Amino acid sequence: MTNNRLTWRALQPNSSLYESTFSDISFLEHKDSFAAVQPRLFNALAHLHHQTQSFPLLLLRSQQNNNYLSWIAKAAQHFLPRKKILFGGEYQIIRNNVKLLPPSDITCPFTTQGGVYYANWIESKQFLGCIRKYKDCIQPEAGLIHQANGGTLILSIDTLLAQPSLWLRLRTYLEQGYFNWYAEDEYRPFPIFIPPLPLQLRLVLCGDHNALANFRELDPEIYKIALYSEFEETLQILGKNEMKAWCQWTLSQIKILGVSKPTLDFWPAFINEAVRMTGDQKLLPLCPRWLSHQLQETALHGILNSQSLQESLETRIWRENFISDRIYNDILSNQIMIDTKGSIVGQINSLSVVEIPGHPRPWGEPCRITCVVHPGDGECVDIERKSELGGDIHTKGLLIMQSYLISKLKLGEQLPFSASLVFEQSYSEVNGDSASLAELCVLISALSNRPLTQQIAVTGSVDQFGNVQSVGSLNEKIESFFYICNTRGLTGKQGVILPSNNVCHLSLNQAVVNAVKQEKFHIWAIKNVDEALLLLSGIVWQSQQDESLLHIILERITQMNKNSKNQSLWSLNCFNWFKRHV
């Protein structure tokens, strides 16, 4: 039972491999850090600026806030020509006559040298400019599109989705290469003709997947003429080069905050938190907002080190965990019944994750799944589904679990038992298939009439062949069960079963790591249902020599069929007796 038990070293990312990297990073090297962590974005910007295109547009999957747009703008500045050229022109207004002169004076509002401008929201008048009228005088006023003439303009897609006419005009301007003035009220045109302004512009539109999908509905042909790339949210760490690039990118955020260089012990602790965010030990976050948020809170202590980071994280968790504390208190006071000692037939501890709209942090929660069986027609009743509390994915997981069991039993007729499964004391919708392994184990326990230990909680989904598949939110789930067990008192036999494919996603808090290190708490990584059943019941699932759960179930089925036939024969004899004597 200890072969698949994890050591404490597997519970967090191994940062010791990069100690030399942490020592080598420097504030002086952070200038090109963005290019190192966003190669696809840089390549797309290079194509946009260096290739001659009939329609210079780049669609970029990215967040649309100013933080992201400012970094994209800084990247675009690398590709601007060093030689300054004047773009646009100068409007000369003499009485009722407006002329457009070639650009000669950079101080004129419609003459530019081509820079990079961005906006996450802008109104039509601010963007397109306007014509001011006072008595008989008119005066063109430049908008953002004129300021960006000759350069690069970065906009959020939501701005254009909220103002579709803005995009229609902008596309027309880009296609024809000049800017036409239009009166705000088509029934009150300008009293005089205003010459169009030559427009040479590269456009970058940023939005998430939903915004891009909606934008495609607005302009179905857009992907035929536009470049596409993405602001990558994570960096895969394959070795020291990638780790150095990520550390330099983090240092660039620290430099902006004006904080001193972090100590060496800061990096392993920060990487642990970063892995919790990405959910993978080989992926580290690139989101500038997330990085800045973590660093700002830690910087309040005046220094960036392991202790200041830990204190800031503990303070934040305390500040945000009122609801989860109330739930855990209900469990500890037995208002919500979760057994962490002993063994019970037809009962198992599963692990779920709770996400409440408007709350910034998901948290894990142990849940009790029970199963009862009785003579019947082989139906497995999902009470959650019957009560309309079970989602489609949960139902799918339950059907897969049943298919596996039926294939293993290899019965020539339907199962003479019926079963009912339920998440006890659950009053909201249950969805996802991460409890299907636990449901299968508790069903087998009920069918075999063999108890399962309550000291071990289970998470994982199964396929039709009994393989255990990875699930999400492992750290929160494990820590929730550990918290309950630790508060009640660790027995040295408690722990969690999880899919082996999930080991690379672990970044557990230090309390769990210390308990595993001292062998007071355990984590088992398994590949199939057989391993889980052996850990939970102490009996193998299938064996030719020893007693097995499968053999016990088949014997119960045989006995049930025999009893059913005897009962049918007795009923037939009674019927015949009554027929003869009545």
Give the CATH number for residue 72. Answer: 3.40.50.300
163 & 83 share domain: yes
320, 348, 365 — which closes off a domain? 320
Contacts of 74 (CB under 8 A, 6+ apart): 34
Closest CA to 140 of 102, 178, 107, 183: 183
- Inside any domain, residue 558: no
- pLDDT tens, residue by residue, 3-54: 689 999 999 999 999 999 998 887 655 567 899 999 999 999 999 988 766 7
Closest CA to 436 of 406, 414, 458: 458
Q: Which of 136-140, 210-214, 554-558 has the highest mean pLDDT?
A: 210-214
User: 3-state class of 271 per DSSP?
Assistant: helix
Considering its fold, how many domains does the chain have in total? 3
287, 320, 353 — which closes off a domain? 320
From the list 312, 352, 461, 477, the catalytic residue is: 477
264 & 223 share domain: no
354 & 309 share domain: no
247 & 224 share domain: no
Give the CATH number for residue 410. Answer: 3.30.230.10
DSSP 8-state symbol, 259: P
- Inside any domain, residue 246: yes
Q: How far are the Cα atoms of 58, 244, 402, 485, 571 from residue 229, in angstroms, in the given order? A: 8, 24, 43, 47, 75
In the predicted model, is pLDDT for residue 179 greater than 80? yes
- Inside any domain, residue 371: yes
Residues 515, 518, 523, 525, CA torsion sign: positive
- Inside any domain, residue 549: no
140 & 285 share domain: no
316 & 251 share domain: yes
- Inside any domain, residue 577: no
Beta bridge pairs of residue 322: none
Give the CATH number for residue 244. Answer: 1.10.8.60
207 & 60 share domain: yes
- pLDDT tens, residue by residue, 337-389: 999 999 999 999 999 999 888 888 899 999 999 999 888 777 777 777 767 67
DSSP 8-state symbol, 282: T
Note down the domain range covering 496.
329-537
Say which residue, 374 or 489, is predicted with more confidence.
489
From the list 62, 156, 434, 436, the catalytic residue is: 434
Q: Catalytic annotation on 500?
A: no
310 & 401 share domain: no
The pLDDT of 506-527, averaged and rounded, is 96
In the predicted model, is pLDDT for residue 2 greater than 60? no
- Inside any domain, residue 573: no
Q: Provide the pLDDT for residue 581.
A: 54
Q: Catalytic annotation on 564?
A: no
Token digits of residue 518 = 């001292």
Strand residue runs (E) in 200-253: 202-207, 227-230, 234-236
Percentage of the chain modeled with pLDDT above 90:
63
DSSP 8-state symbol, 121: S
500 in Cβ contact with 4 (< 8 Å):
yes
339 & 479 share domain: yes
- Inside any domain, residue 576: no
- Inside any domain, residue 555: no
- pLDDT tens, residue by residue, 391-416: 788 788 788 888 888 888 887 667 77
Chain centroid to Cα 457, Å, comes to 24
158 & 272 share domain: no
In the predicted model, is pLDDT for residue 1 greater than 50? no
183, 205, 230 — which closes off a domain? 230
Contacts of 365 (CB under 8 A, 6+ apart): 324, 327, 351, 352, 353, 354, 480
Token digits of residue 95 = 């009485």
Token digits of residue 212 = 């891009």
275 & 187 share domain: no
257 & 359 share domain: no
- pLDDT tens, residue by residue, 199-253: 999 999 999 999 999 999 999 999 998 999 999 999 999 999 999 999 999 999 9
Q: Provide the pLDDT for residue 570.
A: 45
Q: Provide the pLDDT for residue 268.
A: 95
The overall average pLDDT reported for the chain is 88
Q: Which residue reads 């800017």 in tokens? A: 179
